[in-house]
């Protein structure tokens, strides 16, 4: 009896082992197959007779098209006395024209299955239309009316001022928006880029004269760039664009050179009061001149990836997964004409602002002082390479990337050589880039509801406290308490 | 007009399951093929070689309607448990493996479907198939993972409750509208049920519904067909077929009687109302007409209701949401309005009825109809904009349509809706007798 039990057991074990053996391939992850070549769409460019550069990117996967206009007048070009003028002009010309009311424009866009977005950056303003590709003529005509028949009437200005004022009022409830804005103002203090951080108070200074002057100076075809993406060839694009925009007159425009960026010389921690905010936002920023030859942008992308590119990166793993201080903690790097900006952003529970800020500072110092392992660098590169084609799948995402490339003339360096450049990033270059960013005195900006945080703010050695408008209120000092 | 002819022409080459549906002439269609494994798993392949990217979606026909009374929240819990590790993939490693190669992933559960999808560089396809098959066959369900997930979901419940002061009213309204437990309870489940779920409840639910014969696997993107078939055979063919889930929805017929109810809500910041119209679809094409009607009424800033209630010069509503809701074989049109001012709630309700009445007495213009159809087309394209969108779309349509082979003809059915069709469905469904209203008062 006993023997038969043992025999049965042995048979069952053998069957089980056999079954498991048959599926041995399940035990380990399958290796990747050879990389497939990334064939990026070709960018063709041709100028019209009035100087407007037209670029075409042929894409035939869906019957959608994007149409973008890049104007080299960003927020840094707004008059010093009236920051926000660039944003106001962009909203004004897209809200109504001399021929179409705001509701007509809404109606027209929706009738072509379209949408329109406007982005005003430091150096540029970018208009992006997305629409069903049967309606290129309608989209171009609308763009033509916005450029050639803009509505700068007092009535239109009043309406835009009211809308943007309410919009800023709403955004000022968000501690992330407030912290980022304040960081920009301090990092670029006394530089034209400081105007990116304008507050709601700026709205009342916007006036017809400044707006018209700005429009007249920057909205000229010989500075602008039109990009069409979809099922279209260059001949058709230039013919149609010329048909609508050939009366757009070139101007005499010589851009003012931007002064060099001077990174902050002293470590600073600031707090902005955002009444009623449930959570807090923490930003850490670092700037460097974009002409700095020591800064290798692909290496900086790898640094950012390691530090806070995703939920597997150091900041997220530390602040959220390990310590449970933060809802998220990420980092990102951006380049514009005059500078590079590396920033860390985190959303944290109010009771953890002090330890969160300390951990963010610790992580940025660590990445600049301790060698980074080869495997961590390889993993970051693997993410960046793998994610690149995924991130440009959607037409709107490709259009955004394309406008950035064209605005900053990065066609060759970025678009065509991205893969090679990331592959060539070495541990030494990563370390150098990290040192360049994080060995300089950091700027930390925290935004949250002060009434919830009085005791927490006292934990900092010293912290400058500002109101929502960015006006300095007082500075705490632990030693004096 | 030309497009319509092309759409009809594509019908001629729609073939039986397992064959390629080629509609290259129709620019809204994309090719896909369908087959079934011996264990019952449905497989859909949609090749797209534009970029070296591939997406995999696995959808199970299971959602909150499959939960028995007292066990609500199981489907939502399972959506999270599916990331808690399987025999060969440690907890959270599914996510880490995808993130490491630059990919992304997501999952969602609804009333009648649970879907898991991910996108990776195309040379990593095997990795995804390995992980998806592992959790279909050997999901680790233990006390630790159950407790951890339960804790997370209780936290989600608390967060949602504080973020949406009208949530409890929405649940009451769903009970008024759908009446029976499977269809009317919330996907999140009740807190009591969630606390009382046992390990056996979860294991039984997984064993019943997360089986190949209750699932569809869709791969969309850049892949080699022969290789993908090898990988599917290796990872999925070896999973044993499960028992037939045997879920048969109860026969149901909507009542035809107006219901009006009022609730007080101490959390509500302003008075609001939920309004619903029962859609017992009389004619097969009514759903297409109702969808276009929805675009005329509610979609976009220039739609009738948006202009009437959210007009910047006379904004009587603070919030307005509406649309057709489908819970398996039941349909309803739901409207939710929060008044911009405590005194304007009646005005908001009158405005909704007035806009519906206008459509009963005058046809929408051709231009308005065309705008609604173009907005629908745009949204349709947004649903298939990426390989991941396509994979999810094909899974959803596999469960929604009687036969997936009819998919290439679907868009055309929306485009054929006439203004007479629109007015007909307004008369047919948007009647007083067919309506339900839940008024929410502040305390």
Q: Report which DSSP code applies to A288.
A: E
Query: Given a cut of 70, is residue A351 above it in pLDDT?
Result: yes
Are B260 and B435 in contact by the 8 Å Cβ rule? The answer is no
Alpha-carbon distance A196 to nearest alpha carbon in chain B (angstroms) = 28
Quote the pLDDT of residue A166.
92
All domains in chain A, ordered by first residue: 43-245 (3.30.830.10), 268-480 (3.30.830.10)
The answer, yes or no, to whether residue A416 has pLDDT greater than 80, is no
Domain B259-442: state its class.
alpha beta
Q: A311 vs B88: CB contact, 8 Å cut-off?
A: no
Mean of the pLDDT values across residues A136-148?
Answer: 98
pLDDT of residue A349: 93
pLDDT over 50 (residue A16)? no
Rounded to an integer, what distance in angstroms lies between the CA atom of residue A140 and that of residue B389? 29
Average of per-residue pLDDT across B1-7: 29
Look over chain B and give the mean of its residue pLDDT values, rounded to a whole number. Answer: 90
The stretch B72-78 carries a mean pLDDT of: 97
Q: Reply yes or no on whether the pLDDT at B16 is more than 50.
A: no
Query: Is residue B339 over pLDDT 60?
Result: yes
Tell me whether A310 touches chain B (CB under 8 Å): yes
Question: How far is Cα B226 from Cα B242, in angstroms, rounded to an integer?
Answer: 27
Mutate to test the interface with B, among A21, A103, A110 (most CBs of B within 10 A): A110
- Flag whether pLDDT at A10 surpasses 50: no
Output the pLDDT for position B17: 31
Protein fold of B32-235: Cytochrome Bc1 Complex; Chain A, domain 1 (3.30.830)
Taking residues A176-183, report their average pLDDT: 97
User: What is the nearest CA distance from B303 to chain A, expressed in angstroms?
Assistant: 9
DSSP, collapsed to helix, strand or coil, labels residue B184 as helix
- Please say if the pLDDT value at position B22 is more than 50: no
Judged by CB atoms closer than 8 Å, whether chains meet at A132 and B374 is answered as yes
pLDDT at A434 over 50: yes
Q: Which residues pair with B317 in a beta bridge?
A: B339
Residue of A112, A113, A384 with shortest CB distance to B102 = A384
Q: How far is A385 from chain B (nearest CA, A)?
A: 7
Which residue is closest to B311 within chain A, CA to CA? A103
- Do A50 and A250 contact (CB within 8 A), yes or no? yes
Q: Which stretch of DSSP H or E encloses residue A68?
A: strand A64-71
Q: Please determine, for residue A318, whether its predicted confidence score (pLDDT) is greater than 80.
A: yes
Distance, CA of A274 to CA of A468 (rounded, Å): 6
Query: For residue A103, which residues of chain B lie inside 8 Å, CB to CB?
Result: 302, 307
Nearest to A60 by CA among B49, B220, B22, B393: B49
Whether residue B27 lies within 8 A of chain A, CB to CB, comes out as yes
Lowest-pLDDT range, A215-219, B140-144, B245-249? Answer: B245-249
Q: Which residue of chain A comes nearest to B162, CA vs CA?
A: A278
Of B101, B238, B385, the CB nearest to A62: B385
Put simply, whether A107 touches B (Cβ < 8 Å) is yes
Q: At CB < 8 A and 24+ separation, what contacts does B14-17 make?
A: B14/B405, B14/B406, B14/B408, B14/B409, B15/B405, B16/B405, B17/B404, B17/B405
Kindly indicate the confidence band of residue A176, based on its pLDDT and cuts at 50, 70 and 90: very high
Phi, psi of B231 (to 5 degrees): -65, -40
pLDDT per position as a tens digit, B216-226: 999 999 999 99
- Residues 28..57 of A with a Cβ closer than 8 Å to B: which? 28-38
- CA B260 to chain centroid: 28
Sorting pLDDT into bands at 50, 70 and 90, what band is A208? Answer: very high
Element (H, E) at B419: helix B419-429
- pLDDT of A12 higher than 50: no
Q: Please tell me the predicted confidence (pLDDT) of residue A379.
A: 94
Token pair, residue A172, equals 């000022």
Q: Within an 8 Å CB–CB cutoff, is residue B53 touching chain A?
A: yes
- Which residues 196-225 of chain A have a CB within 8 Å of chain B? none
**Chain A neighbours among B 91-120 (CB < 8 Å)?**
95-97, 99-104, 119-120
Average pLDDT over residues A352-372: 96
pLDDT at position A23, please? 75
B8-12: long-range pairs with CB below 8 Å, 24+: B8/B412, B10/B408, B10/B409, B11/B408, B11/B409
Contact (CB, 8 A) for A245 and A50 = yes
Residues of chain A with pLDDT > 70, as a percent, come to: 94
Chain B closest CA to A246's CA: distance in Å?
30
Average pLDDT of chain A is 91
What is the pLDDT confidence band of residue B10, given thresholds at 50, 70 and 90?
very low
pLDDT on residue A439: 86
Find out whether B65 and B249 touch, Cβ atoms under 8 Å: yes
B102·A383 Cβ contact <8 A: yes
The per-residue pLDDT for range A244-274, each reduced to its tens digit, is 999 999 998 777 789 988 888 899 999 999 9
For residue B367, which residues of chain A lie inside 8 Å, CB to CB? 111
For chain B, positions 226-255, list CB contacts with chain A under 8 A.
Answer: 227, 234-235, 238
A474 contact B CB<8A: no
Predicted local distance difference test score (pLDDT) of residue B376: 97
Residue by residue, DSSP assigns A300-319 as: HHHHHIIIIISTTSHHHIII
Identify the closest residue of chain A to B366 by CA–CA distance.
A111
pLDDT band of A405, cuts 50, 70, 90: confident
Residues of chain B with CATH 3.30.830.10: 32-235, 259-442
Name the pLDDT band for A292 (thresholds 50, 70, 90).
Answer: low
Predicted pLDDT at A480: 62
- Inter-chain touch A36–B122, beta carbons under 8 Å: yes
Interface of B with A in 285-324 (CB under 8 A): 300-302, 307, 312
Contact A33 B374 (CB under 8 A): no
B414 has a pLDDT exceeding 80: yes
| pLDDT for residue A288 | 87
pLDDT tens across A449-476, in order?
Answer: 999 998 899 999 999 999 998 999 999 8
- Which residues contact residue A5 at a Cβ distance below 8 angstroms, ignoring those fewer than 6 apart? none
ipTM of this predicted structure: 0.89
Please, what's the largest Cα pairwise distance for chain B?
A: 66
- Would the pLDDT of A360 be above 90? yes
Judge: B119–A37 Cβ closer than 8 Å, yes or no. no
Express each pLDDT in A30-85 by its tens digit.
999 988 888 888 899 999 999 999 999 999 888 999 999 999 999 999 999 999 99
Instruction: Please tell me the predicted confidence (pLDDT) of residue A294.
Output: 67
Per CB-CB distance under 8 Å, the chain A contacts of B27 are 62-63
- The alpha-carbon gap from B82 to the nearest alpha carbon of chain A, in Å, equals 17
The predicted model gives A202-216 an average pLDDT of 96
Give CA–CA dist B175/B185, Å, rounded.
7
Place of tokens 């609001």: B272
Q: Which of residues 365-394 of B touch A (CB under 8 A)?
A: 367, 370-371, 374-375, 377-378, 381, 384-388
- Nearest Cα neighbor of B440 from B164, B148, B130 is B164
Q: Report the pLDDT value the prediction gives residue B255, as an integer from 0 to 100.
A: 85
Using CB atoms, pick whichever of A114, A311, A390 lies closest to residue B102: A390
Query: Of A19, A18, A276, A241, which is closest to residue A139 (Cα–Cα)?
Result: A241
What integer is the mean pLDDT of B157-179?
Answer: 92
- Closest-CA distance, B374 to chain A, in angstroms, reads 5
For residue A22, the model assigns a pLDDT of 58
Span B107-112, mean pLDDT?
A: 95
Instruction: Look at residue A410 in the predicted model and tell me its pLDDT.
Output: 77
Of B102, B127, B370, the CB nearest to A387: B102
A/B interface, count of CB pairs below 8 Å:
134
Task: Determine the pLDDT at residue A5.
Answer: 54
């Amino acid at each position: 009896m006993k023997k038969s039990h043992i025999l049965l057991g042995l048979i069952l074990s053998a069957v089980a082992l056999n079954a498991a053996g048959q599926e041995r391939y399940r035990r380990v992850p399958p290796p990747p197959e050879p990389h497939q070549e990334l064939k990026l769409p070709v960018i063709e460019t041709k100028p019209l007779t009035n100087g407007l550069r037209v670029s075409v990117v042929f894409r035939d996967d869906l019957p959608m098209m994007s149409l973008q206009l890049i104007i080299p007048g960003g927020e840094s070009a707004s008059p010093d006395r009236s920051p926000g003028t660039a944003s106001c002009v962009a909203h004004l010309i897209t809200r109504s024209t001399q021929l179409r009311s705001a509701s007509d424009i809404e109606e027209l866009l929706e009738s072509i299955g379209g949408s329109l977005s406007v982005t005003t950056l430091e150096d540029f303003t970018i208009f992006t239309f997305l629409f069903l590709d049967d309606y290129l003529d309608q989209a171009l005509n609308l763009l033509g009316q916005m450029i050639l028949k803009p509505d700068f009437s007092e009535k239109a200005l009043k309406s835009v001022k009211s809308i943007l004022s309410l919009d800023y009022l709403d955004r000022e409830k968000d501690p992330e928006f407030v912290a980022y804005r304040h960081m920009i103002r301090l990092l670029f203090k006394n530089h034209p880029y400081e105007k990116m951080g304008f507050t709601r108070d700026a709205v009342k200074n916007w006036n017809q004269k400044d707006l018209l002057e700005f429009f007249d100076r920057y909205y000229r075809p010989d500075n602008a760039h039109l990009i069409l993406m979809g099922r279209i060839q260059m001949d058709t694009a230039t013919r149609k664009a010329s048909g609508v925009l050939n009366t757009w007159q070139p101007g005499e425009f010589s851009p003012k050179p931007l002064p060099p960026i001077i990174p902050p010389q002293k470590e600073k921690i600031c707090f902005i009061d955002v009444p009623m905010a449930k959570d807090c936002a923490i930003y850490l920023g670092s700037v460097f001149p974009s002409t700095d030859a020591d800064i290798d942008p692909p290496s900086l992308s790898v640094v950012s990836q390691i530090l806070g590119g995703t939920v597997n990166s150091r900041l997220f793993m530390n602040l959220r997964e390990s310590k449970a201080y933060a809802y998220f903690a990420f980092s990102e790097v951006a380049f514009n004409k005059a500078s590079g900006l590396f920033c860390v952003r985190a959303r944290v529970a109010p009771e953890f602002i002090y330890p969160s800020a300390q951990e963010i500072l610790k992580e940025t110092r660590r990445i600049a002082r301790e060698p980074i392992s080869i495997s961590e660098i390889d993993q970051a590169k693997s993410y960046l390479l793998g994610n690149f084609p995924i991130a440009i799948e959607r037409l709107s995402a490709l259009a955004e990337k394309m406008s950035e490339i064209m605005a900053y003339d990065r066609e060759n360096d970025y678009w065509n050589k991205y893969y090679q450049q990331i592959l060539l990033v070495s541990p030494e270059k990563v370390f150098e880039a990290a040192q360049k960013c994080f060995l300089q005195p950091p700027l930390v900006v925290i935004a949250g509801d002060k009434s919830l945080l009085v005791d927490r703010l006292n934990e900092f050695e010293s912290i400058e406290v500002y109101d929502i408008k960015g006006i300095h209120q007082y500075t705490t000092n632990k030693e004096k308490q | 007009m030309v497009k319509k002819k092309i759409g009809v022409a594509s019908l001629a080459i729609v073939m039986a399951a397992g064959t390629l549906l080629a509609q290259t002439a129709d620019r809204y269609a994309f090719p896909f093929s369908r087959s079934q494994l011996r264990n019952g798993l449905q497989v859909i392949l949609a090749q797209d070689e534009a970029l070296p990217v591939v997406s995999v979606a696995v959808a199970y026909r299971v959602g909150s309607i499959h939960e028995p009374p007292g066990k609500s929240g199981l489907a939502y819990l399972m959506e999270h448990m599916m990331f808690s590790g399987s025999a060969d993939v440690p907890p959270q490693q599914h996510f880490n493996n995808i993130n490491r190669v630059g990919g992304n992933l997501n999952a969602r559960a609804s009333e009648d479907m649970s879907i898991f999808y991910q996108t990776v560089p195309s040379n990593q396809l095997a990795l995804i198939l390995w992980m998806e098959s592992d959790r279909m066959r050997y999901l680790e369900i233990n006390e630790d993972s159950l407790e951890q997930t339960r804790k997370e979901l209780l936290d989600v419940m608390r967060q949602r409750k504080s973020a949406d002061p009208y949530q409890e009213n929405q649940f009451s309204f769903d009970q008024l509208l759908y009446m029976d437990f499977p269809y009317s309870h919330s996907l999140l489940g009740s807190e009591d049920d969630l606390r009382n779920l046992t390990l056996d409840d979860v294991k039984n639910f997984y064993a019943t519904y997360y089986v190949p014969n209750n699932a569809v696997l869709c791969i969309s993107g850049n892949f080699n067909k022969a290789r993908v078939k090898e990988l599917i055979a290796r990872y999925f063919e070896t999973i044993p077929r499960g028992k037939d889930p045997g879920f048969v929805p109860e026969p149901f017929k909507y009542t035809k009687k107006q219901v009006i109810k009022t609730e007080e809500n101490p959390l509500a910041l302003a008075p609001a109302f939920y309004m619903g119209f029962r859609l017992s679809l009389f004619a097969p094409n009514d759903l297409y007409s109702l969808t276009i009607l929805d675009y005329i009424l509610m979609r976009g800033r220039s739609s009738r209701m948006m202009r009437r209630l959210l007009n910047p010069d006379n904004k009587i509503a603070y919030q307005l949401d509406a649309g057709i809701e489908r819970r398996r074989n039941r349909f309803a049109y739901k409207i939710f309005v929060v008044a911009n001012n405590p005194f304007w709630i009646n005005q908001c309700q009158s405005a909704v009825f007035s806009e519906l009445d206008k459509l009963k007495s005058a046809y929408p213009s051709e231009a308005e109809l065309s705008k609604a159809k173009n907005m629908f087309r745009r949204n349709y394209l947004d649903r298939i904009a990426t390989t991941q969108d396509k994979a999810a779309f094909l899974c959803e349509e596999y469960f929604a349509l009687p036969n997936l082979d009819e998919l290439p003809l679907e868009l055309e059915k929306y485009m054929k809706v006439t203004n007479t069709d629109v007015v007909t469905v307004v008369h047919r469904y948007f009647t007083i007798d067919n309506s339900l209203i839940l008024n929410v008062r502040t305390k």
